[in-house]
Structure formats: structure tokens, C-alpha cells
Amino acid sequence: MIRIFATLRQRLLSENRFTHYLGYAAGEIVLVVIGILIALQINNWNDARKDRARELDYLHNIREDVRTNIAQMDTYLQTRNAEIAAAQRILTHFNGVPITDASAFNADSISIYNWKRFYLGDNTYQELIGSGNFALLSNPKIKDGLLDIEAMYRKLKGEEDHFRFDSETLLYKPAYVTTDLGPMMQDYSYTMSHGREGSANALRPENFAPLLRNLEAKNGFWMAILEFSTMNEQMTAMRDRSRELLAEIDAELKR
């Protein structure tokens, strides 16, 4: 093909058909430009196809992260609601209601002492940010959802840090100085192991009498109610936003 064009060009020049030669040259340039544009378009299409494949991989992974987080948040909300109810029952005894079931009081107390922090599963998000691939996500609603959830999570961690300080000051310290932890652990082990460990007769209601006279401890259970309620409000908002994000991801994956 190149030899044919070259032969034609030489013949036109030898016959002094300069005008025809210019037209031919222009046409040849146009063909070259068109070829380059087609090659660039094919290259761009291949790059876009590869980027879309990577984006879909990330979306599948994000989807699994979000689904797992929603399930964990449901569990945490149930647990913390139970802890709020436990703190409310405990406060009735600070206000004069006698303890008739020392094991139940003990279980309520330990459920609050053993509160746990929530950790968001965001490995895929962190990988996107760390690798500079966040721009691969083409749907702005998905980007906004991820950023919103991360911001909500930081706010929740701040509230957890606040309660960590309060619990160390108002819950753990009074328990350490007013209560013999040995019988508490023996009783709790017996309850949790269904009688295989610990002792059924380790506790008496009077074991908790010094604790019930401690104002710091009482304030600690009040703070547990307040701050667990705040955490639950924040987590409910984060869970609802996660559900919205999950719906956006599902729609994007079906596109």
C-alpha cells in the first residue's frame, strides 16, 4: 500500500500535475490523522474498559464491607439498648429498691463494664484512598456515601472516647474500691458457663451495699444511659446512611 501511494505521488510530480498532487497529499494527511484518531479512540476505549472492570471489583468489595458493617451495627444497637436497660434497673437499687437477685444485678453491672468499641470495616475504602484510586468511582452518590459514613464514624469514635474516660472514672474506679471482684467473677463465670465454672453461691445482695452508697458509681450508670443513647443515635444514622449507600452500589452494579 505504501509503495502504491509512493508510485502515484512520483507519477503526479513527473507529469507536473502539482494541483492534483496537493489534493493527494492533503488526502493522505487526512487519512493519517483519521488513523491516529481511531488508534487513540481504541486505546481510550480499552483504558475505559479496564478502569470500569477495576471499579466494579472495588464496588463488589465495598458492598461486602457495607453489608458486614450493617449487620454488626444491628448487633451493637441491640447490645447497647440492653445495656441501657441494665443501667436503668441498676439505678433503681441506688434509689432504694432492695436487691433480691444478686446474680441478676451482677450480670447487669458486668454487661456495662464490658462495653465494647465499634470498629468500621473500611479496608476497601482505605485502599482506594491510599492508592489514589478513589477517582475510579464514577458515581458521585457512592463517593458521597463513603465520605459521609467515614465522617459519622469519626464522630462516633469521639463519643466512645468520651465514655471511655467517664467509665474509667465513674464506673471502674468505684467498683474497684467498693466491691470484692472475686465473688463477682465467680458468679458471672457460673452464669455464663451454665454451671460448668465458678460458683452459684459466691454472691449476696450485701456484697453491693458499699457500691450503692457511692455517688460516683451512681453517676457512672447515669452517664452510661446518656452516652450509650448518644452512641445509638449516631450509629442508627450511620446504619441508615450505609443502607442508602448499599442501594446505590446495587443499582450501579446492575447498570
Q: Give the C-alpha separation, 165 to 109, whole Å.
A: 18
Number of C-beta neighbours around residue 122 at 10 A:
18
Say if 183 falls within a structural domain.
Answer: yes
Say if 86 falls within a structural domain.
Answer: yes
Say if 175 falls within a structural domain.
Answer: yes
Say if 80 falls within a structural domain.
Answer: yes
**How many separate domains does the chain show?**
1
pLDDT value at residue 69 = 98
Say if 37 falls within a structural domain.
Answer: no
User: Nearest to residue 65, comparing CAs of 191, 192, 246, 209?
Assistant: 246
Say if 4 falls within a structural domain.
Answer: no
State the virtual CA torsion across 117, 121, 126, 128 in degrees, nearest 10: -160
- State the residue range of the domain holding 111: 52-254
State the virtual CA torsion across 56, 118, 192, 227 in degrees, nearest 10: -150
Block means of pLDDT (10 residues each) for the chain, 255 residues, are 56 55 60 66 66 93 98 98 98 97 96 96 96 95 97 97 95 95 92 90 94 97 98 98 98 92
What's the whole-model pTM score?
0.82
Q: Give the C-alpha separation, 255 to 244, whole Å.
A: 17
Helix (H) or strand (E) holding 167: helix 140-167
Say if 236 falls within a structural domain.
Answer: yes
Say if 170 falls within a structural domain.
Answer: yes
pLDDT value at residue 2 = 53
